[in-house]
Structure formats: structure tokens, C-alpha cells
Structure 1
Amino acid sequence: MGYTDQRFDVNLSILFTELPLLERPAAAAAAGFTAVELWWPWTGTPTPAREELDALRRALDEAGTRLVGLNFYAGRLPGPDRGAASVPGEESERFRANLDVAADFAASVGCKALNALYGNRVDGVDPAAQDELALRNLVAAARAAHRVGAVLLIEALNAPESPHYPLVSAPAAVEVADRVNEATGLGNATFLLDLYHLAMNGEDLFEVVEKYAARTGHVQIADMPGRGAPGTGSLPLEELLGRLRKAGYEGFVGLEYKAQDAAASFGWLPAGARAAG
């Protein structure tokens, strides 16, 4: 049990970025994929014009691709920011303004997973105050996701690349999801298990899979070192995904790796395994 038993999607915020956003779904489809995911694609605003939302919806539909994962507004990503849920002031306001916009767009394209990045620590702000703000905002995010039948994803990043981000272990992210579920009673806050980030943190990936497979709402992969395609580094990704499958995870696996030529980077995955069932 390995790659051929998974449902893969292409992250269009890190792959095919040489193309304009609206051309990326077709590029993924040309490579054989039927599922894609995105960070919040309108970095500058949490509330893009309806015309922009409609254009992306059409691009997904015309390519025959399904959006299976979407970030809520997360600040400048790619860039120095790592989310907005815990960041006081205007960023928190932008996060809240985005909740229904993102949830409604997700509903319109059948997307069932919404990722809320926690946000960096801010100099001069009490971490406890940031955590209280984050909980309020994540509770609101969980309710927005629940309204459209989606799960809320809580992601751990890695400390070397995100030194100001407080959730840098699987237990830390799962603890936040638990607090959100306790506050809402909805049970839809889940763990985004990113094998690359957890490996960069030095975690035992097999132990994480065994312990948290049942709590996992989405998976993302890249090899390490380098954050390249599977096979470019040393992580046993095929075995880890097989363990996840055996543990009951049947969701999507997002390809969130870097490649200068995305179309040429999929040689590790047989063409017949790229279309999500």
C-alpha cells in the first residue's frame, strides 16, 4: 500500500506558479490531476470582488478540477506572514471579514476543507492574549466551515522556516483543535498533517501517523531536505502514506512541494494514480 492507494491533489499556490492563477487548474489537469488546493489566492484582500471569485470558479470548472482545500485569509503568503487568526488589529479584522467569503466560495466549488493558519507571535504583545484572540477567531472559523459542511484545519509549521509561529509540533496543533472543538461542540476542527513541516521539526513521523491519523483532516507532503518532490530527499513518504491509509485516513494528500518545472516533477507518481477517485 503506497502511492497508488492515495487521492492526490496539486497545490496551485506553490506549483505551476509561473502561470497566472486562472491558468493553473488547466495545467494541473493536463498533468493528469483532477483535484487541486490553494492558499488564499488574493493575498492583498480578504474580500475580493465577485468577478474574481467567479473567474476562479469558472477556471476550476472548465479544467474539470475540484478544489479540495483552501486557506482562509493568511496575510502575505508566500511572504513573511503565517496566518492572521492570532494577530491583533487589522489582520484579525481581515481574518474575520474573510470567513464567510472563503466558506461561501468553498461551498460553491464543493471544497470541504478550510485551513486557518494561526499567525506569528507579535513583538510586544502578550502571547496569552494572542492565544485568546486566536481561539475566538478559530471558533468563528469552525462555525463558518460547519455552515458549509467543511472541516477546519489547524496546521503545524516548522520552526527553522517559521521561527515566530507558535504551533511547531503535531501535539501543539492538535491541542488547539481540541480547544476549538471544546468551545464549539461541533467537532469539526481537525489536524492538517504536513509531513515535511513535522520532519523539519525533528518529529518521529511514524509515531505521529500512529497517534494522530484519526484526528487528521488533510495531509500535505514534500520531501526533505529541499522541499522537493518525493524522491528528491530522504523521507520515506510512500511508506508513511501507506501507514496513514492503513490507519483509516482516506482523505486527500496535497502535493505542496517546490519544483522549477511542475509538469516534469510528477514522474514519481504513475499517470494512472493522479486522477482523484
Structure 2
Amino acid sequence: MLKFAANLSLLFAELPLPQRFAAAAAAGFPAVEIQFPYDYPADVLATAAQAAGVQVILINVPAGDLMQGGAGLAGHPARVAEFAAALPVALAYAQALGARMVNVLPGRLPAGVSRAQALVVLAANLARAADYFRPFGIRVLCEPINDLDMPGLLLRTADELAALLADGNCCDVGMQVDLYHMARMQQDIPALLRRYLPAIAHIQFADAPGRGEPGSGALPLAQYFALLGELGYTGWCAAEYRPTARTQDTLHWLSELA
């Protein structure tokens, strides 16, 4: 049976972040993830998670100005020191929250830098992050993101990510695959899952094209989940969608798909 988690950066957003842990638990989620938890003290979030009895499975490493439209940190030759400085920040939160995975967003192509140069920097930063987190039992992931919602992204498909991770220095970096992003890039999702499942450490999902809850768009998510079950996927599937109504009113899929 698949395991479903709630992304607290998008779900239950009608509540302050510390209150979303209890809301997720009440809705039936045993685990949660957070994109960027850094606006709240780590101990405040850890206390809320523990009180709600939910497991925090993943957070993102700080990404600089990426979410504001900038190039971010991970693929920028002039921001290598900033990326290195983000790692202990992410570690402190991951340890406080008990997260065993951290995700590195690939960033946009910086002005004046070739894609080949940026990818070399990204690969080196991923290897550095993996080395940094490995002694703490925390795995580093990386995620391709569609360039329709976020133009200029360095990694847009699972194939592009897999090619980068083929570098021997990145061999223990896991793939994070968001079915929504791959659908937006018109990827063959069943073929993608069959090909890359051994390397996929974490899956996220939303319906497409609107990034709403399952059933709000055109993706056959139930079929994808059935395939994951057939393939023996044992990781988490995290709901990272923008609810079209109150989150509690969009959770029909949880009992239907689980």
C-alpha cells in the first residue's frame, strides 16, 4: 500500500504553518513535508509536529532568490559559498524536525553563464551536499521542475536529472519526481516510472494542468499510483497541490486512491 504525505507549504495554507501539522494528522496524513520551513524557529515546528504525531520526511535546502524569480544558489558559479552556507541551516532544521531527506532545487540558468557551466556547478554542489549530509543519515535529493511554471530551470525532466546524476560524484543523490511537473513537460509518466524507479527516492503529485487536487484536472493519478504499487515503490507520495477549496474539502482522493 502506498504511503501518502501532505506538503504543508501548499495544503492547509488557510492556517499558520505550526497549526498545519495537527490539521494534516486529523485529515489522516501520517507524514508531512515542507518546502521552506525557515520563517519559523525549528523548535516551534518540531514541537508542533511532535504534538500532532506526524513525521516530517523532507524539507528543501534554502534556495536564495529562486522562488522570487532569481537564479537561486545551486547552479550559480558566483554563489557557491552561499550554497555551502545554506547546508548547515538546512541541517539544523532537518535534525530538529527529524527529516531524513533534503531536496536541492536546481536553480535557473544565471545570466552570462552557459548551461554546461551551470550544470558543472550544480553537480559539484550536489556532491558537496551529499558528502555534508551523509554522516547525519540524511539523503540529498534533486528535483526537475517544468519550465512553463518556472522558466529557465536547469533541470526540467527526469532524463535531464538522470544524466546529471550519472556523474559518479553524485551517485548517492536521489531523484525526486513530481508527477505534475513531468506532466507539464509532456513526459510519458508510466515509462518514466518504470525506467527510473530504482533511483526515485521521493514522489510528489498534483493534477494537471492547474496543479489542483486529484480529480481537478486530466491526469490519471489513480493509474500512476496503481503502477507504483505494481512496481514495488516503498517511498512516500506527497500531495503538493494548490487546493481549489478549503484543503479539508479537497481530500476525497485520499480514501479513494489509498
3-state DSSP of counterpart to 2:253: coil
Q: Residues of 2 paired with 1:235 and 1:138: CA distance?
A: 31
Shift of 1:59: 1.2
Q: Residues of 2 paired with 1:33 and 1:152: CA distance?
A: 23
Match of 1:107 in 2: 95
Query: Quick one: which of 200, 217, 233 aligns to 2:201?
Result: 217
Match of 2:44 in 1: 55
Q: Percent identity?
A: 35
Match of 1:128 in 2: 116
Cα 1:211/1:82, change in 2 over 3 Å = farther
Cα 1:271/1:110, change in 2 over 3 Å = farther
Q: Which structure is richer in relative contact order (CA contacts within 8 A, separation 6 or more)?
A: 1
Match of 2:169 in 1: 183
Match of 1:264 in 2: 249
Q: Residues of 2 paired with 1:217 and 1:157: CA distance?
A: 16
Q: So what's the TM-score if we normalise by structure 2?
A: 0.92
3-state DSSP of counterpart to 2:127: helix
Match of 1:40 in 2: 36
Shift of 1:15: 1.4
3-state DSSP of counterpart to 2:254: coil
Gap runs ≥5 in structure 1: none
Q: Residues of 2 paired with 1:21 and 1:160: CA distance?
A: 28
Q: Residues of 1 paired with 2:29 and 2:248: CA distance?
A: 11
Match of 2:76 in 1: 87
Gap runs ≥5 in structure 2: none
Question: Aligned pair 1:240/2:224, yes or no?
Answer: yes
Cα 1:77/1:38, change in 2 over 3 Å = farther
Query: Quick one: which of 123, 130, 141 aligns to 2:129?
Result: 141
Shift of 1:85: 0.5
**Of 202-211 and 134-143, the range deviating more from structure 2:** 134-143
3-state DSSP of counterpart to 1:36: strand
* One-letter identity of the residue aligned with 2:143: E
State the Cα RMSD in Å.
2.1
Q: Residues of 2 paired with 1:221 and 1:232: CA distance?
A: 12
Match of 2:14 in 1: 18
Match of 1:254 in 2: 238
Match of 1:116 in 2: 104
Q: Residues of 1 paired with 2:21 and 2:72: CA distance?
A: 24
Number of aligned residue pairs: 257
* One-letter identity of the residue aligned with 1:236: P
Q: Residues of 1 paired with 2:111 and 2:72: CA distance?
A: 16
Shift of 1:137: 1.3
Matched-pair contact (CA < 8 Å) for 1:73–1:94? no
Cα 1:30/1:83, change in 2 over 3 Å = farther
Shift of 1:218: 0.1
Matched-pair contact (CA < 8 Å) for 1:178–1:189? no
Q: Residues of 2 paired with 1:14 and 1:82: CA distance?
A: 22
Shift of 1:87: 2.1
Q: Residues of 1 paired with 2:180 and 2:72: CA distance?
A: 18
Q: Residues of 2 paired with 1:221 and 1:162: CA distance?
A: 17
* One-letter identity of the residue aligned with 2:76: V
* One-letter identity of the residue aligned with 1:141: A
Shift of 1:237: 0.8
* One-letter identity of the residue aligned with 1:23: Q
Q: Residues of 2 paired with 1:238 and 1:147: CA distance?
A: 37
User: Residues 114-169 of structure 1: CA distance to partner in whole angstroms, max 9, x if unpaired?
Assistant: 11011101122233332222122111111123122122211111121122002111
User: Residues 83-132 of structure 1: CA distance to partner in whole angstroms, max 9, x if unpaired?
Assistant: 4211243x543321121231243234332211101110112223333222
Match of 1:226 in 2: 210
